[in-house]
Structure 1
């Protein structure tokens, strides 16, 4: 765990009562830390899913670029051209 900070939060009383009902010995800070960690993980997953497919055109263009580089255009192996 990194450095800790103290923050004041406001939550619905029903949420707090449900936490205490489910686990009367629960450490509220631990529960909030776990909930926020899960939230961050879910948001990171959602962000990655939102990127799905956005690189497809870049990949196709990159393949075409590399294929062009691999063409010898009549040159001998090891022969370089400045053109």
Structure 2
């Protein structure tokens, strides 16, 4: 994996706290960014699942309505 250098700005207190835990600041940022990206991917997947759930429920309602309409038309056709 290629490595890039990037300048970032963050509060000094946050940097000092991170530095007190580890001398490898790059590793801390890499781990934090990786965790952040995983969290966002999960949130996106869950929000998509919610949309799909709504779609599925609406699809079921639509199909049921179409079946009722078909039965109604069929009933009228045969004189019920």
TM-score by shorter chain over 0.5:
yes
Structure 1 runs of 4+ aligned residues shifted over 4 Å read 57-61
Paired position in structure 2 for 1:75: none
Paired position in structure 2 for 1:6: 5
User: TM-score by structure 2 length?
Assistant: 0.61
Paired position in structure 1 for 2:39: 42
- CA RMSD in angstroms, aligned pairs only: 2.1
Task: Considering fraction of residues, name the structure with more helix.
Answer: 2
Number of aligned residue pairs: give it.
60
For structure 1, the residue ranges without an aligned partner over 5 or more in a row are 65-83
For structure 2, the residue ranges without an aligned partner over 5 or more in a row are 64-80
CA distance in 1, matches of 2:31, 2:18: 13
CA distance in 1, matches of 2:26, 2:11: 16
User: TM-score by structure 1 length?
Assistant: 0.59
Q: Cα–Cα, structure 1 residues 59 and 46, in superposed 2: closer, same or farther, change >3 Å?
A: same
